[in-house]
Structures are given as C-alpha cells and as structure tokens.
Amino acid sequence: MEYVQERVTTLHDFGDAAPEAPTDDAAVVVPMTEREHAGLAAERVLSALETVAPERVVVPLRASEERVGSVASWLEGFDLPLELLWCDGPELGALLSASGLNGTRGKGRDVWLALGVAGDSDYVVVHDADAKNYDAFHVPKLLFPLAHGHEFSKGYYARVENDRLYGRLFRLFYRPLVEALDADTDAAVVEYLDSFRYALAGEFATTGALAREMRVQRGWGLEVGTLGEAFRLVGSAGSAQVDLGVHEHDHRAVSGPSGLSDMSEQVAAALLRAVEDNGGTPEYETLPARYRRAAERLVDAYSLDSAFNDLEYDRSGEREQVETYADAIASPPEDTRLPAWQEAAITPAEVAEAAAADLDGAVESVDAVPER
C-alpha cells in the first residue's frame, strides 16, 4: 500500500473507500458483444449497477441480427434505466455511410456512438463488461473527482491472478514504449501518459461536455487515444486516476485474430499519434531499440517482483512477447479517428433513432420466425 501522487491527481483506496458521488446525474456506458452477454462477469456488472442507481445505462452492442433479440431479452431482466444501442443494424450503418463515418468497426466505434447518446448527461462513466470482480463502488469512485472539479478520471488496478502477473500489453508494451519516448522527447504529453498506473484500463469517466469534445479511436486504441484527447483538452490539472483495487479479466492469446499482437499495433498507433498531436516528435528509427532496452529492464523488475511475492514468472515467454510487440512500433498510419460529436456530420438523436429502428426490426424478424 502506498500514497504516492503522480502528475495527475491520484486517489487511493486505503481499504474502505466508499465516496459519495452524483450517480443519479451519470450515464454509465457498458460496451458489450454478443459473446459477453449472459456471462457471469456481465451478469455481475449489471446486477451491481442496479444498486448504484445511475441516471441511465447505455449498452452499445456489437452483435449479429440473429443474436440481438436474445441479448435484448436478457437485458430486460435487469432493474435498470437501460438503453440498448445496437451498433450493427442496417439503418445505422446507412446513416454512418452517408456521412462518411462508417469505416472499420470495433470497440472504439461502439463507445463513440454511445458517448454521443450519453453525452447529454452531466457525467459519463465507461467501463468494460468482463470484470469478474466488479463492485458497485467503481462508478462512484470514478465520478468522485469529477464532482470535485476534474473533468476526466481513469481507473487503475492490479492484474494479479492464478499466481502470476497479467496486464501483459500494458506491462510489456505500453509502459516500456512510453519510457523509451521519454528519453527522446521533452513533450509534456509523455510525462502525462507515464503518470497513469494502468493506462489500458477500460474504465474512465468524463463530464458530458468533455465526452462530446473527444475524438475517438475506432478499435483497440480507444483507451490510449482517450488519454491523448484528455491531455489535449484538459491537461494534467483536469485529470485524475482512481484506485479500483484488483481486477480479474478475460485473457487473450498473444497471436491470432484480436490477440495481443494485433492489439499492440492499434495501441502503438494511438499512443504515437497522441504524442505527435501534442507536440512530440518521436525518433522512429531508433525507437524500437530503445523500447527493447526499456522492456528488458522491466522484465528483470517484474521477475524480481514475482519472486518477492512467490508468483510464477515466465521470463523467456515475456521476452518473446517483447520481440513480438517491437514489430508494432512505427509511424502511425492514416488517421481514421471518429470526430468529436460537436463537430460530427450527424447528431446523437439520429443515431439513437436509427439504432432503435434497427432493434425493433431485428426483434420483429425473430418473432416472425415460426416455431418448429
């Protein structure tokens, strides 16, 4: 346990933190896929939110037409002011296409749609649906700094389970890459990015106004891109991070579709673009080598930390991951971020209307299929 402050205000849980916060003025966004619905983690998250009593809960859903009806029926079983935003319907797709906004689908795109719909609330809290040990204090904890003058807050937590360290993409890629960047640029954004203790956490909160000012990455770069936007818009003085304890999440393989290797490419692009956006000029020719040196130092540190706590540690496996992630370090490709809602060619009301029509059509289609 410690009480160290970072460049952003850092709120610690010393064991019994249960702050009061304006949950009844907050929209909670819980992005979900059809795979996660009805799972134990998602069930726990939504059941806990029943005791939080937020103003509203917005669920941006990525699901096939065949599954959206069953997800909708399951969500109706929770005592929540819930708004289901189906992100894959034809009318919504046509609306986005007509405005030049459709493009690549992913978690970030889903959250962007929800931020538009939820941004008319005073506060917006975003968190994943796969935390196995989620509790009802997460929302008020994230809201607390916003109720006291900050505009952006980020959750952080330890990733320790099954007697080993997880959070590999953060530990082995994000953290050493930021350290390498810090050695070749004096841009203040790098120190800002370095101050977050779990920068890839899916849990964050903003004021409603800030939610509509942020440009959003379409995919797995969402979390890092959000930090870059928070720095651009409110800086360190307007940001905070909040201790959410220990989290247990689903674990991804390093390789394969949607594996950590693919994610590292999107995280790198978002991170390096955030640095460039805010005055940094990374030296890309030497950056991979400096990343490897920083990662090697951290592997040694994680190994010793694991031994100190009698945890298992696969040093060679972690080094192999470092080599895999190093291939992702390059100048960011074309910027495909979604625009701030206040500058978008469509309105949140149009999104909500199209998504509702799509949902009604999908449910009616399923109901019309005769039983055999």
Q: Which domain range does residue 152 map to? A: 9-361
Q: Is the residue at 26 inside a domain?
A: yes
- Phi first, then psi: give them for residue 283, nearest 5 degrees: -90, 90
Q: Is the residue at 260 inside a domain?
A: yes
Q: Which two tokens stand for residue 239?
A: 């940001």
| Residue of 150, 133, 178 lying closest to 271 (CA atoms) | 178
Q: Is the residue at 372 inside a domain?
A: no
pTM metric for this prediction: 0.94
CATH number where 16 lies = 3.90.550.10
**Number of domains composing the chain:** 1
Q: Is the residue at 77 inside a domain?
A: yes
Q: What is the pLDDT along the chain (372 residues), one digit of tens a residue?
A: 789 999 999 999 999 899 999 999 999 999 999 988 888 889 999 999 999 999 999 999 999 999 999 999 999 999 999 999 999 999 999 999 999 998 888 999 999 999 999 999 999 999 998 888 888 999 999 999 999 999 999 999 999 988 999 999 999 999 999 999 998 888 999 999 999 999 999 999 999 999 999 999 999 999 999 999 999 999 999 999 999 998 876 666 776 666 788 899 999 999 999 999 999 999 999 999 999 999 999 999 999 999 999 999 999 999 999 999 999 999 999 999 999 999 999 999 999 999 999 999 988 765 544 443
Q: Is the residue at 367 inside a domain?
A: no
Q: Is the residue at 1 inside a domain?
A: no
| Residue of 104, 139, 121 lying closest to 25 (CA atoms) | 121
Q: Is the residue at 369 inside a domain?
A: no
Write the CB contacts of 284 (distance below 8 Å, at least 6 apart in sequence). 329, 330, 331
